Amino acid sequence: VTRSVTGHGARTQRRSSGGSTGIESGTARIAVDLLGGDDAPAVVVDGALHACGVDPDLHLLLVGPESVAHEVITMLAAGDRARVRVRAVGHRVTMSEPPVRARHPDATVHAAVAALVEGQADAVVSAGASGATVTAAVLGLGRIPGVRRPALAATLPGASGPVVLLDVGATIDSKAVELAHNAVLGAAYAQVRHGVGAPRVGLLSIGAESGKGDRVRRAADIAIAAQRLPEGARYIGLVEGHDVSLGSRVDVVVTDGFTGNVLLKGVEGAYVRAGTQISASLAPRGAVLLGVPGTVVVCHGAATGADLASGIALAASLHRTATVARLSALATHLAEVMPT
Amino acid sequence: VTRSVTGHGARTQRRSSGGSTGIESGTARIAVDLLGGDDAPAVVVDGALHACGVDPDLHLLLVGPESVAHEVITMLAAGDRARVRVRAVGHRVTMSEPPVRARHPDATVHAAVAALVEGQADAVVSAGASGATVTAAVLGLGRIPGVRRPALAATLPGASGPVVLLDVGATIDSKAVELAHNAVLGAAYAQVRHGVGAPRVGLLSIGAESGKGDRVRRAADIAIAAQRLPEGARYIGLVEGHDVSLGSRVDVVVTDGFTGNVLLKGVEGAYVRAGTQISASLAPRGAVLLGVPGTVVVCHGAATGADLASGIALAASLHRTATVARLSALATHLAEVMPT
């Protein structure tokens, strides 16, 4: 694999601009959904405080009940309080509500996306129901031209470099054409975010030989092979579950949101089972919504305060490296193809 | 969870009859597919030799080229050679051939199943293409009454007991009714094989709340809830990927063969990524074909000699504990339902 050394990769940028903290410079204003997550608001409060503490250029827009937001503010040093603002809303989208419930104007995740649309924030972070966050993001931001359905991308640290897995839960019952779009989005993300110059893109299936898999996979194998990928990226065909955790064969693994979500959670569970330290070093903390013209990070419903802080840091980094704009530029050809 | 202490569990039987070797007593005649597996026949030869060495009551029927079989026999001590017989056949089903190719009378996996049908062997072990093995098994053995499609079950060592995951690759594009059958087969297997008295059965999805998942899952949730399970077993609803690796919530995880295969390989890859020792202790070595009236064990295509030896030991143990007959007895009610 050729990896970019021209400074386009986030890893390179972190090295050159972030010094020992690993944080890029520049103001980043992150809208945080105070009510998203199984253990919200406590874990979100913890995460917000931690994130503020390690990143002096981070500004937070706390979206949720005013009382919770003030809890965060009172726990900050007086000099840091100016970096935190509040957007007071009360309603929370619970895991058992249909995603469309996020359209309710009081829903915190809807209000967080609205802040992004209005230019009050640079990115959104939520550990709420991912379906609700995806719905709110698409309704508020739209999609980048040519993309039918957005995809959540998670990066796993493979043995020989990062592995981008998408979709991990945005789009269920995906069609072949949507998987082909995921191949473009994932390849662009690997290039822009991880500096992988010539990403190898694989389609997740149950064997490496062509023809293995269910109906959707057989159609997607053809659709991805016919899909124009960002320059340098290439489709290597079918890959398997272990390729996601090992990463020696592939840089971008394309799948539907159902399979990807099951696999990601299974791998994360395996790392927890293998030991806490392994889990902390190998399990991804947040997933990025690709295909919308804005920076949206989704954390696990079961996220801890540390996970939320990582998700906020990821959102800040994505904003500072202009990931979404650069990724969209690599995917413009999606808008040129025949509408399907 | 209540676990049986009446001696019905294989674990209990191993303890009481196997002594320090962990092997049940009694002759077990295992038909081994010499040409199954990416690294066959070398790994199969290794596995067969190792299995013979540790289990004095094990008899092997080596199915494949005579020259390979004789390689195994010449490496055995003179006193052990009487335990090994040969069924000479030449054809191998490769990973890229369609499963139906296994019908060819020369296919080693077909000949191994034929030996089982003819009473020359008590069980079959193959690391060849699992689709070919499943096809050969169904054609040769038929199915247990009421079962539409067989399922491959793998047992993962969860933090609080074994977790049975099925299907891990026998049936792709499963329908809801087939997933409901998997619930019965998996619950019966947990009871018979692992001595779990009241197995908790879950349907693998992308959230624990009812309604989460794709179309098949929404239909299967209803079908499993309406399905009569073996006495003592109960359906707990939707579970997630991490429940398979952790096992604190559930004993039997039901899914389709595509998702289960991807998840199992992903979890196995994660254990490899986490370290060799973890992988050796936590990754399952073989999967059992449930729903056919015979003992068939499928090992990974990438199986090592040690994996093959474990698969042979698993097959011997399943035979000695009459697992398939006892499991079938717990699933007789499947034949009573309206044909679908």
pLDDT digits (tens, 9 = 90+) for A297-325: 999 888 899 999 999 999 999 999 999 99
A with B: how many residue pairs have Cβ under 8 Å apart? 155
Q: Which residues pair with B162 in a beta bridge?
A: B157
pLDDT at B93: 60
Asked if B266 lies within 8 A of A215 by C-beta distance, the reply is no
| pLDDT at A6 exceeding the cut of 50 | no
pLDDT in tens, A82-102: 999 999 987 566 666 666 555
pLDDT in tens, A198-228: 999 999 999 988 889 999 999 999 999 999 9
Torsion of CA B148, B152, B155, B156, to 10 degrees: -110
Q: List all residues of chain B from 112 to 141 with a beta carbon under 8 Å from chain A.
A: 129
pLDDT in tens, B54-69: 999 999 999 999 999 9
Set of chain A residues whose Cβ sits within 8 Å of the Cβ of B95:
207-209
CA–CA min distance B64, chain A (Å): 24
Let me know: does A138 contact A150? Beta carbons within 8 Å.
yes
Classify strands A58-64 and A252-254 as parallel, antiparallel or unpaired.
Answer: unpaired
ipTM of the complex: 0.88
pLDDT at B1: 36
More confident residue, B203 or A78: B203
Based on DSSP, count helices (H) and strands (E) in chain B, helices before strands: 12, 11
pLDDT in tens, B309-324: 999 999 999 999 999 9
Asked if B268 lies within 8 A of A241 by C-beta distance, the reply is yes
pLDDT in tens, B82-117: 999 999 987 556 666 666 555 565 589 999 999 999
Structural element, H or E, at residue B9: none
Q: Is B335 on the interface with A (CB under 8 A)?
A: no
Q: Is B242 on the interface with A (CB under 8 A)?
A: yes
| pLDDT at B2 exceeding the cut of 70 | no
Tokens 């996220």 belong to residue: A303
Q: Is B38 on the interface with A (CB under 8 A)?
A: no
More confident residue, A22 or B18: A22
Q: Is B278 on the interface with A (CB under 8 A)?
A: yes
Which residue of A172, A210, A266 is in closest CB contact with B241?
Answer: A266
Q: Is A149 on the interface with B (CB under 8 A)?
A: no
CA–CA min distance B193, chain A (Å): 23
Asked if A269 lies within 8 A of B246 by C-beta distance, the reply is yes
Asked if B267 lies within 8 A of A172 by C-beta distance, the reply is no
Asked if B210 lies within 8 A of A268 by C-beta distance, the reply is no
Helices A42-54 & A66-75 angle (0-180, nearest 10): 40
| pLDDT at A264 exceeding the cut of 70 | yes
| pLDDT at A18 exceeding the cut of 50 | no
| pLDDT at A332 exceeding the cut of 80 | yes
Q: Is A231 on the interface with B (CB under 8 A)?
A: no
Overall average pLDDT of the B30-34 stretch = 96
Average pLDDT, chain B: 88
